[in-house]
Structure 1
Amino acid sequence: MYDELIADDDLPIARKSVLPGTGFFLPDDLEDDLEDEQAVAALEGAEAAVVADTDADGLACVALLREAYDDVRSVPEPEDDDEPGPDEPTEQLEPEPTPHRVALLPASPHDLEDQLARVGEYADEGIDLYVCDLCPDRYEYVADELEAALAVADHAAWYDHHQWDDDVADAVREAGVELVVGDSDSECSADVVYRSLEYEFGPMYEELAAVTRDHDLWLREDPRSDDLADYAYWTDPAEYTEVVREYGVSVPEWVEEYIAERRVEKEALIERAVSRAELREIGGYTVGITYGRCSQNEVAEAMREQGADASVIVKPAGSASIRGTDAFERCHEVAGLVGGGGHPKAAGCKPDVYDDMLDYAHHWTSRGAVTKQVILDAFEEVVGDEEAENESQS
């Protein structure tokens, strides 16, 4: 395949909005080999390994752990004569490789088990293991890989704030892991790490946890939280972690300029997704649903302002974000029916409806029609169960 067919740097917004990013088209084997190499390099000589989500909350957990371990700092700086453009921060700002006491293994809910397996395979005996801001839907999804990681770890802790199934939580604890799950209505994972570690953090880290919480729980009372969330999403996880360790929530001017440049495109993608939004009535709820590569929280907020009690944003890569309101707090139940999970007001999933590239081609050209219907059917089931519960209690 020609590189220019999957490159998206120069795509018009109209096309970029409906297609996945370049990484989607890379073979899994190639990506796995690269992640193996990165894990080997990161884990060499490390005292601790942290498998963490790569959003601002997960990376704040990494920053807290590195502070607690008195880890070295590797702070990126921009080149004086060439400020970075919106699509090239990592190439110009990437710090020199520095051995860290706390190795970062970036993960998502879909590859958590892979990173646990790499700890078991590549980490030194006696390492401390941490898992942050991630929740397995079923214990069997991670059972073998967690066992392998625990075989080399002297101590293991898991810090999170998502909605855990009791059986999954019990199984993780029985395996020998210190599991601490915070209240998802009042804490982010960084809060859980901040209060769980036996370390006296300075005010900068207390503020980092608070501002991270503001965005992760969608409180939106501190404008700096959007900056952190956007920066974490756009830049390399290693860069984000070291920048907030050095500057806290008051990021330097070159980061502010980078965020401002990227937001021009972000707003255009949001506008495209909002323009495609539809409202559906399901039981007594109004559900907004749309499609596009975009920032899901802002799009969900726009649908809420249009009257949606819950919102669904289907992505070109096949996954979907589900956002609720005070009127609808069962997003995790909807997601759970279609291969996902999360919080009562914020969840994610990727329905198993893609058998080959023709299914993805239909997904892009139909703007996610099949995935939309599968998720709307899940809403119908959850709302129907709720109505049945209410009837039985009356």
Structure 2
Amino acid sequence: MEEELIDSSRLSLPRKSVLPGTGFFYPDDLDEERAEERAKEELEDAEVAVVTDTDADGLGCVALLREVYDAALDVADFEERIEERLAEARGEVDEAEEDEEAEEDRPESPVALMGSSPYSLEDDLLRVAEYAPEGIDVFVCDLCPDRYEYVEEELEALAEVAGSIRWFDHHQWKPEVAEQVRAAGVDLVVGESDEECSTDVALRELDYEFDDRFVELAAVTRDHDLWLNEDERSQDLADYAYWTGKEEYVAIVGAYGADLPEVVEEYIAHRRVEKENLIETAVSRAEFKSVGDWTVGITYGRCSQNEVADALREEGADAAVIVKPAGSASIRGSEDFERAHEVAGLVNGGGHPKAAGCKPDIYDDMLDYAHHWTTQGATTKRVILNAFERVAETPAEGEDKAEETADAGADADADAETDADDAETSE
């Protein structure tokens, strides 16, 4: 198959909204091979390893840790590359030059960044155990296993290698899972999920006198991660973490905190034009269904789920569902609907009461995906609406029963519940 057929950057906006990105069409084993290679390279001489979610909250933890260990990368190199991307976007050059040799020669931090997700946590822990030097300090940030069995063997292997293992998170941990993780020799600190983000937890638990920019970075990250939306900079951080590489984000916020430099603001503004168009397209497709006492707004498309959910709530939805081209879905609640995690738990997912994610187990082959794209998620929508109906028939006290049905990754961060999408929709 010609690569042009799966090159997302060549699609018109209406088609781009319906189809997943280029990464979706690459076999998982290619990604796994590359992940193994990168893990070996990054961990070989590392002094510290950070296994973290790659949203703004998880990467904020890395910025703090690199400050503590005096291991930040030179920000000037990243700023130069942003300028190159902007020049290409403005048409000032036919194509931004790729200096592959410079990319390979870029210095690596002794605080290795292992980007992870609720769906790959066990694999990433095992990579650290296999490739990191003996005695390495390990941090796990902004991730929560739904069951201890999912990470049991990996933590045992890691404990044999690591000098210490510390875990900073803010999700809703099951008490028995937290107890077992601590019993495995992990220094686990879980913040209040409705008061702190993981960057907050790292800020107060690390024995270091941070500059004000890091204190402010944690506060602005919290503003987005807890859906407070009181600081206009928080959306910039979230968008930038989503759109750029993890190393670039860590270097930039480590140097500037929440007040991003002008070149980054220009880059965000450029990317936001398409973002807003994709949001409008998804909102225009929305349908509103009555389920029990709730009005559920449900739509389909490649888009920013939080902004689409906000728009659907403004149009009267108590709950919003955004089905993605890659097959997953985001579920967002409101003051009148705080059972999103119960709905997601019935369709292979989970999360928070007001924000959750899932990927129904209904895709057996590419024909199922083709049907998904051409019908704009008709089957997925029906499955999720059926889950809403089941939750509507269950008293809120029955929460524990709903949670027991959740599969791996059920306590995924609301902004990370589509981490698979992030990779699948990248260009």
- Same fold by TM (over 0.5)? yes
Q: Give the distance between the partners of 2:314 and 2:203, measured in 1 at CA.
A: 34
Give the letter aligned to residue 359 of structure 1.
D
Question: Is 1:309 matched up with 2:318?
Answer: yes
Q: 2:80 aligns with which of 78, 81, 89?
A: 78
Do residues 42 (structure 1) and 51 (structure 2) align? no
Q: Which residue of 1 is the match for residue 17 of structure 2?
A: 17
What residue is the counterpart of 1:30 in the other structure?
A: 30
Q: Contact 1:159/1:179 (CA < 8 Å) preserved in 2?
A: yes
The 5 Å alignment of 1:1-394 reads 1-75=1-75, 76-78=78-80, 83-86=86-89, 97-386=106-395
TM-score, normalised on structure 2?
0.87
Name the CA distance, whole Å, in 2 between partners of 1:30 and 1:334: 33
CA–CA distance in structure 1, aligned partners of residues 162 and 275 of structure 2? 41
Say if 1:388 and 1:214 are closer, same or farther in 2 by CA, change over 3 A.
Answer: closer
Cα distance in 2 between the residues matched to 1:143 and 1:375: 31
Contact 2:13 2:278 in 1 (8 A): yes
For the residues of structure 1 that align with 2:368 and 2:326, how far apart are their CA atoms?
Answer: 11
Change (3 A) 1:159 1:82: closer
Q: Distance in 2 between matches of 1:82 and 1:333?
A: 42
- Mapped partners of 2:271, 2:232: distance in 1: 17
| In structure 2, distance between residues paired with 1:90 and 1:59 | 27
Deviation, structure 1 residue 74: 2.5
Residue 96 of structure 1: how far off its partner (Å): 5.2
Distance 2:284 2:139 in 1: 42
Q: CA deviation at 1:389?
A: 6.5
Q: Are the equivalent residues in 1 in contact too, given 2:43–2:132 (CA < 8 A)?
A: yes
Cα separation, partners in 2 of 1:51 and 1:279, compared to 1, 3 Å: same
What residue number does 2:417 align with?
none
For 2:365 and 2:247, the matched residues in 1 are separated by 34
The answer to whether the 8 Å contact 2:84/2:96 transfers is no
Report the AA paired with residue 382 of structure 1. Answer: V
Q: Deviations over 1:149-208 (max 9, x none)?
A: 222111111111112222222221221111111111111111111111111111110000
Task: Answer 1 or 2: higher relative contact order, Cα 8 Å, separation at least 6.
Answer: 2
Shift of 1:72: 3.6
CA distance 1:96–1:216, shift in 2 (3 Å): farther
Per-residue CA deviations over 1:14-73 (Å, capped at 9, x if unaligned) read 000011110111111111111111111111211111111111111101111111122142
Any conservation in 2 of the 1:95–1:239 contact (CA below 8 Å)?
Answer: no
Greater shift, 201-210 or 64-73, is seen at 64-73
Identity over aligned pairs, percent: 64
Native 8 Å contact 1:86 1:258 kept in 2: no
Q: Is the 8 A contact 2:50 2:114 kept in 1?
A: yes
Q: Evaluate the alpha carbon distance shift between residue 135 and residue 276 of structure 1 in structure 2; reply closer, same or farther with a 3 A threshold.
A: same
Q: Deviations over 1:216-248 (max 9, x none)?
A: 111111111111111100000010000101111
Question: TM-score, normalised on structure 1?
Answer: 0.94
Partner AA of 1:278 in structure 2:
E
**Equivalent position SS for 2:34:** helix
Q: Distance in 2 between matches of 1:356 and 1:71?
A: 45
The whole-number CA distance in structure 2 between the counterparts of 1:5 and 1:335 is 33
SS of residue in 1 equivalent to 2:80:
coil
